Amino acid sequence: MARRVAVVGAGMTRFVRRAQETGKELAWEASREALASCELPLDRIDAVCLTSAPDAFDGVHMKGEYLSDGAGAFGRPFIRTYVGGGSGVFTAIQAYYTVASGMADIVLAVAEEKMSSTQPHPQGAFLTIFDNILERPLGPNLLWIFALEMNRYMTVHGIDKRDIAAVAVKNKRNAADHPAALLGQADVTIEDVLASETLAWPVQRLDVSPISDGAVAIVVASEEAAKQITSDPVWIQGVGWNLDTAYWTNRDLVFPEYVANAARMAYGMAGVTEPRKQIHLAEPYDPFDYKELHHLEGLLLFDKGKAPEAARDGVLDRKGDLPSCPSGGLLGVGNPIAAAGLMKIAELFWQLRGEAGARQVPGTPERGVAQAWGDLMQVGTVVVMGREGGPPTTATQLETPPAATPGQSLSDAEFRSAAGAVDDGIGARYAWDAGVAIGGFLDGLREGRIMARECRGCDRVLVPPRMFCERCFRGTDAWKQVENTGVVQTFSICNVSWDMQPLDEPELPAVISIDGSDGGFLHTLGEVKPDDVTIGMAVEAVWKPVGERTGSILDIAHFRPRKDA
């Protein structure tokens, strides 16, 4: 039987655009504050769980080892986990099971991110999340994937962009009350969001959370230890995590089923049977404004497509029926990736203890849910936390946490001129083998055919093809040629390159479902005006001339509206 586990302390640095501190110094500042908040010396910590997102941000291989001293790991059991954007919430889950299992009584969980080291733009670190062979030749950038998902979500449910913009407004206003926030803005309006630069339609500048540096830490303890440390522990009542298919172009982009699966797991553990009644506040993951709504639906707190109305009607406001991101979220406080996720756990801790000061949601909320999401948009991580046994006892004496806000911000000029700063590049190059399934797919493209693999276990025709079915976990059965036509599942009109430079001509990335298959892939649209593209449009592959084909995804020049349609 798992032991009961509580959060007993939390701390964080300021989230800033460029921190003077090194990553390990940021980790130490947050960790020290978390320990101070529950008056524990480092030697009471039995084990350390750390998370930080891609090593590529820092160009430091084994970043966990690099950050370990700042996380208090010296001489202790230590592990670094990484599930992309889901990492921050996941490290709380890991701390939970380390304590629940009896392996440790008190665990320090630390999340650090320093994105400012990446030059010329941190988005470069994300380029290799795309398939090296099927997607990178198309020149995708991270905005594409969000824009594609957002467009489909909006189109399928008929959502007004204003209702999505309301989330950005809410969070930036909420963050104005957060002492660690990077982008708090009390007077921002929906019109400001709708007037901001269009990056990759429908994504505009103010729909997006900022690149940030920062760190967050929490102290997690067993029931016995927690009751010695504080009179007011906040219990981790349930945890859940879940993964969708790695083939993102085969996924339902309208509803995050993996978040729902993670939520069901966490609610089941927490005994939550009616989340809309039993969850009093939420910290869903909001790197983009639509994602908060998408995730609130995944968390089963709203019907599919109905969260935007809640944003419009003020239900999600700090004083609304279901306060969502009362911290200010990633859109307002900032998005140092792994740290931003753990910030949501820290916010639930402060809110449920009644310590959130100007950010405090009214009433005495008893239970909240925090969620993050990551990897290639496929992992959901969920934690349900609650306070039990009467109103909080510590509410009035404390300063508004975070009590101190360490973290020194550098201007761009200071960053460029800092004494002792070092410029470096990894300088590695790679060669990727196509493998069996994709090799066959590419051979087909050179012949002007789109080839799939059949799985007779689940009766699916798989595009992109694979030699094994990830659902049935058996070998696939046969090659099958499918049509050279398809349907636009979603698309974007992208105006910027990965390093955020304007493009002369916008690009039209699209997810195309291929006729005669159960899948599809990413490509670009051509021979069509951007304004004429619609979701559901029938398209056909335009092949390069035979002599120019090389066995590459680029053997299809683009997809265009079907001439016979």
Partner 1 sequence: MLEKIARPDQIRRWEGDFPVRHRYTPGVGGEAFFTALKERGVLLGSRCESCAYTYVPARLFCERCFAELSADTEVGPGGELVSFTIVFQGIEGEPLDQPEMLGAVRLDGADAVLIHRVLEPGDEPLEIGERVELVLKGENQRTGSILDIEGFRVAEA
Applying CB under 8 A, which residues contact partner 1?
A: 18-22, 24-25, 28, 31-32, 35, 41-43, 56, 58-59, 69-70, 72, 74-75, 116-120, 124-125, 127-128, 132-133, 136-137, 408, 410, 415, 418-426, 428-434, 436, 439, 442, 551
Rounded (10°) angle between helices 289-298 and 257-270: 50
- Contact 225/376 with Cβ under 8 angstroms? no
Q: CB of 133: closest distance to partner 1 in angstroms?
A: 5
* Nearer Cβ to partner 1 (20/245): 20
Cα-flanking dihedrals φ and ψ of residue 502, to 5°?
-65, 145
State the Cα–Cα distance between residues 188 and 206, nearest whole angstrom.
Answer: 10
* Nearer Cβ to partner 1 (129/463): 129
DSSP state of 104: -
Q: CB of 47: closest distance to partner 1 in angstroms?
A: 15
* Nearer Cβ to partner 1 (429/529): 429
Which residue, 485, 490, 482, is CA-closest to 536?
490
* Nearer Cβ to partner 1 (115/208): 115
Among left, alpha and beta (phi > 0; psi -120 to 50; other), residue 223 is: alpha
* Nearer Cβ to partner 1 (365/465): 465
Residue 16 C-beta-side C-alpha neighbours within 13 Å: 20
* Nearer Cβ to partner 1 (70/287): 70
- Contact 90/83 with Cβ under 8 angstroms? yes
Q: CB of 136: closest distance to partner 1 in angstroms?
A: 6
- Contact 241/478 with Cβ under 8 angstroms? no
* Nearer Cβ to partner 1 (255/479): 479
Q: CB of 411: closest distance to partner 1 in angstroms?
A: 12
Which residue, 143, 112, 115, 142, is CA-closest to 29?
112
Q: CB of 439: closest distance to partner 1 in angstroms?
A: 5
Q: CB of 119: closest distance to partner 1 in angstroms?
A: 4
* Nearer Cβ to partner 1 (127/190): 127
Q: Six-digit token pair at 1? A: 């039987």
Rounded (10°) angle between helices 161-175 and 289-298: 100
State the Cα–Cα distance between residues 551 and 137, nearest whole angstrom.
Answer: 12
Q: CB of 419: closest distance to partner 1 in angstroms?
A: 4
What distance lies between CA 31 and its chain's CA centroid?
A: 23
- Apex 334 CA angle, 328 and 336, nearest 5: 135
- Apex 86 CA angle, 80 and 89, nearest 5: 75
Q: CB of 216: closest distance to partner 1 in angstroms?
A: 16
- Contact 340/187 with Cβ under 8 angstroms? no
* Nearer Cβ to partner 1 (18/294): 18
Q: CB of 455: closest distance to partner 1 in angstroms?
A: 19
